[in-house]
Amino acid sequence: MLTGKHLIAGEWVAGAQMFLSLPAYGEARAFSVGTPAHVAAACERAEAAFWSYSALSRDARATFLDRIAEEIDARGTEITAIGTSETGLPAARLEGERARTTGQLRLFAAHIRQGKYLDIRHDPALPDRKPLPRPDIRLVQRPIGPVAVFGASNFPLAFSTAGGDTASALAAGCPVVVKGHSAHPGTSEIVAQAIAGAIAACDIHPGVFSLIQGGRRDVGEALVQHPLINAVGFTGSLSGGRALFNLCAARPNPIPFFGELGSVNPMFLLPHAVAARGVEIATGWAASLTMGAGQFCTNPGIAVLIDGPEAQAFIAAAKAALDPVPVQTMLTDGIAAAYREGRDRISGTAGVGSVLTNICATRTAAPCLFEVSGEAWLANHALGEEVFGPLGLIVRVRDAAQIQQIARALPGQLTCTLHLDAADTDHARQLLPVLQRKAGRILANGFPTGVEVCDAMVHGGPYPASTNFGATSVGTMSIRRWLRPVSYQNMPAVLLELCTD
């Protein structure tokens, strides 16, 4: 049963004002509006919880993460029902995303049990070293304190209440205060109920987790500026993320802001690959571009290839694959409106030609495809800005040298993709060093939509893909965002045990 309330340190707290959810279909429900006072209460309780929670053994924290996963799975049917209503996403997508959410909780539990994330380093004492002896020094990663997490609109489970930011922070030993996204408040509350169940079952301090629903801009600002918050995790728009990033930097004690802000995820189609299988690549691109109405941060929005007959065949094949794709429901009216604005911005840009356009209204989107010359793209960097939805832009370039120009002109990206055959290897060798500077993940002969949760994954990149190029928001390395290194010099072994478990 939904309460419509905030969960603050184990207590369901009502607000003085309410807001109505805006589901894709089904019943609208009323939820409490968060306030800075709710933020303050949650942060104070998170700080109180930090001392006992950060001192738990790795095994105890891992058991807690496993129990959260169990509690979420136990509510699976309820989560799917409310999630599909609120977001318009199909049941299969919600079930898959729930499996990813619980899977990453269990992965993080196994990872911290191993202790590798602590990155323990030891330089033993050298008492006889000349001219000066060396002390015994050990380095260990330690949790930083309470963390703020902003739920994402496009992933109501995997990047929201118990998603990657929350799971990794809890794995690191940090309490979490979540600002739920107003696009799916019911889904957020049910997941919060699951976390509350795990807290009770594991006898964890209830301040380790709070969920504040809704709220205006003042709630987000109060959260990132609260002096007890030590870092922020965010997935969302460039404008919203940059505003929060600036607030974090302007605090009397600045804190890190780990924001994933968007990317066009360009694909570079090399000549021999296009000649051999251009139609196949175009068909695969169309499927990736329109998956989930294009509402993925790794959606491959740009394809770059050398102009000529093979390029024209690629364009025709992409249009043929996109044309029958039906209208899809988008996550919110606002996202749908932004997609239409992005479509109109691209189509109205000098030098851009329309290959396929569709009229869509209210909360729906249909695929659009445009093409532009390399010269025109280089002359207008706005063409490299993300349009969140099923929109593709084909950049036709003169030659391999202009492909290099395009790659060098790109801002930071989450992903870059190379489509190549063996005969394209020399060309790829020249391009790869550029792409390594531009993206956190580089693919060969694939499509970037979908991110594997594993040890080796990087979901991040140079700005504006993310605000911290040395971090990832997916995979076990994401835990490192909420830790800082501490060196212990000549520390008695009995005290070191407290730091390494």
Active site residue 452: no
- Report the alpha-carbon distance of residue 105 to residue 127 in Å, rounded: 44
Give the H/E segment covering residue 328: strand 328-329
CB atoms < 10 A from the CB of 500, how many? Answer: 14
Question: Is there a contact between 245 and 237 (Cβ–Cβ < 8 Å)?
Answer: no
pTM exceeds 0.85: yes
- Report the alpha-carbon distance of residue 464 to residue 469 in Å, rounded: 9
CA proximity to 37, closest of 14, 10, 3, 4: 14
Q: What tens digit of pLDDT does each residue of 111-121 get? A: 999 998 999 99
**Tens place of pLDDT per residue across the chain (501 aa):** 899 999 999 999 999 999 999 999 999 999 999 999 999 999 999 999 999 999 999 999 999 999 999 999 999 999 999 999 999 999 999 999 999 999 999 999 999 999 989 999 999 999 999 999 999 999 999 999 999 999 999 999 999 999 999 999 999 999 999 999 999 999 999 999 999 999 999 999 999 999 999 878 999 999 999 999 999 999 999 999 999 999 999 999 999 999 999 899 999 999 999 999 999 999 999 999 999 999 999 999 999 999 999 999 999 999 999 999 999 999 999 999 999 999 999 999 999 999 999 888 789 999 999 999 999 999 998 999 999 999 999 999 999 999 999 999 999 999 999 999 999 999 999 999 999 999 999 999 999 998 999 999 999 999 999 999 889 999 999 999 999 999 999 999 889 887 777
Active site residue 368: no
CB atoms < 10 A from the CB of 37, how many? Answer: 13
What angle do helix axes 185-202 and 58-74 make, rounded to 10 degrees? 130
Question: Is there a contact between 152 and 92 (Cβ–Cβ < 8 Å)?
Answer: no
What pLDDT is attached to residue 360? 80
What pLDDT is attached to residue 215? 73
Residue 11's alpha-carbon distances to 28, 117, 197, 215, in angstroms, are 24, 32, 12, 18
> Using H for helix, E for strand and C for coil, what is the string for 383-450?
HHCCCCCCEEEEEEECCHHHHHHHHHHCCCEEEEEEECCHHHHHHHHHHHHHHHHHEEEEEECCCCCC
Tokens 């390594």 found at:
436
What pLDDT is attached to residue 216? 81
Q: Which residues have a Cβ under 8 Å from the Cβ of 219 and sit 6 or more positions away?
A: 34, 35, 36, 38, 39, 179, 212
What pLDDT is attached to residue 498? 78
CA proximity to 159, closest of 295, 15, 22: 295
Question: Is there a contact between 247 and 224 (Cβ–Cβ < 8 Å)?
Answer: yes
Q: Which residues have a Cβ under 8 Å from the Cβ of 418 and sit 6 or more positions away?
A: 267, 268, 270, 428, 431, 432, 435, 442, 443, 444, 445
The token pair that represents 437 in the structure block: 């500077």
What pLDDT is attached to residue 185? 97
DSSP code for 464: T
Q: Which residues have a Cβ under 8 Å from the Cβ of 353 and sit 6 or more positions away?
A: 370, 371, 372
One-character DSSP codes across 193-207: HHHHHHHHHHT--GG
Handedness of CA 325, 332, 229, 114 (dihedral sign): negative
What pLDDT is attached to residue 496? 87
Q: Which residue out of 174, 297, 368, 416 is catalytically annotated?
A: 297
Q: Which residue out of 260, 310, 371, 386 is catalytically annotated?
A: 260
Output phi, psi for 325, to 5 deg: -65, 125
Question: Is there a contact between 334 and 481 (Cβ–Cβ < 8 Å)?
Answer: no
